[in-house]
Amino acid sequence: MIIDRRKFLKILGVSAFIGIGGWSTFEVIGRGQIEAFAEKYRKVPEALQAKRWAMVIDLKKLDEKIMNECIKVCHKLHNVPDIPNPKEEIKWIWIDDFEHSFPGFEHEYMSHEIKEKPVLVLCNHCDNPACVRVCPTKATFKRKDGIVMMDMHRCIGCRFCMAACPFGARSFNWKDPRQYIKEENKEFPTRMKGVVEKCTFCYERIDRGLPPACVEVSQGAIIFGDLADPNSEVRKVLSENFSIRRKPALGTEPSVYYLL
């Protein structure tokens, strides 16, 4: 059979029509399967939304009592074990002195009072997180709202992220943490031996419409909000006060700011 140009184009056109707009396409759309699929999982309507979550910690308003309160509530809520051996300790939020929290800011003639001033430190939820870049399994990743999250199901315990993080915000579970948890919070999981953990900006509370737990107990010393929103409280506070970040020269762009 000889097919001329005209006939060939006709066949091509008809088959393309069937291929693109064929019965199967109508069938799928007709059943509303695509819509149903998109609707199956939803955010809670009251969930807090932002483009880049950030925290401003006002060190003038914080005393050690409030800091310890923040640590206590965070560690209790997230089943963080209390391991006595400092080499195996696990911390999401903790206290360090000024000199070690902000290396480069200190100098020889600084008063002891400032050098040893307690600073509340936690994961900085960097905009350019080194830990996320090195994770081989994408167990740690950056959410759309800027939170640097941990997916414990994927963590293989290689500890690259711990080597990459310049803030020491990550802790490794050298042993089963359950035996060191005095009182379990039944609403949150624990971790297992061999995974890395850190602060998650209370993603589970944000997704339910609540601010992070430490913000709630800080008596106004910690402000939480959206950096991308020019009218947010964090932006207001940052524009009106002098603020610093930890190790800014490393270029990780921390989202936790400190007021002195």
Partner 1 sequence: MYDGWKIILGLLVFVAFVTLPFTLSTGKEYVKADPKIDTPEIQKLPESERKCVESKEFMRKEHMKMLIDWRDTVVREGKTLYVNTEGKSFNMSLQNTCMQCHSNKSKFCDECHNYLAVKPYCWDCHIEPKEDKKEAGL
- Residue ranges in contact with partner 1 by CB under 8 A: 39-44, 47, 79, 141, 143-145, 149, 151-153, 184, 186-192, 203, 206-208
| 114 neighbors 244 (Cβ within 8 angstroms) | no
Here the tokens at position 252 are 């990780």
Exposure string of 171-193, with b = 16+ CB inside 10 Å and e = fewer, is bbbeeebeebbeeeeeeeebbee
Choice between 152 and 228, CB closer to partner 1: 152
Pairing state of beta strands 243-244 and 256-259? antiparallel
Q: How far is the CB of 171 from partner 1 (least distance, A)?
A: 15
CA–CA gap between residue 184 and residue 192 (Å, rounded): 14
Q: CA torsion 194→195→197→203, rounded to 10°? A: -150
**Tokens found for residue 207:** 């997704």
Q: Give min distance, CB of 191 to partner 1, in A.
A: 6
Nearer to partner 1, 113 or 187 (CB): 187
Round to whole Å and give the CA distance between 68 and 74.
Answer: 10
Least distance CB 36 / partner 1 (angstroms): 9
Based on CB atoms, which residue is closest to partner 1, 7 or 208? 208
Q: Which is nearer to partner 1, 145 or 226 (CB)?
A: 145
**Smaller CB distance to partner 1: residue 78 or 91?**
78
* Min CB(164)–partner 1 separation in Å: 21
- The nearest distance, CB 44 to partner 1, in angstroms, is 6
Ordered DSSP codes for 237-252: HHHHS-EE-SSGGG--
Q: Are 94 and 71 in contact (CB under 8 A)?
A: yes
The least CB distance from residue 155 to partner 1, in Å, is: 11
Work out whether strand 171-172 and strand 256-259 pair parallel, antiparallel, or are unpaired: unpaired
Instruction: Return the number of the residue (6 or 42) whose C-beta is nearest partner 1.
Output: 42
Q: Name the residue nearer to partner 1 (CB basis): 58 or 211.
A: 211
Which residues have C-beta within 8 Å of that of residue 192, sequence separation ≥ 6?
152, 173, 176, 177
- Residue 153: CB minimum distance to partner 1, A: 6
CB 88 within 8 A of CB 236: no
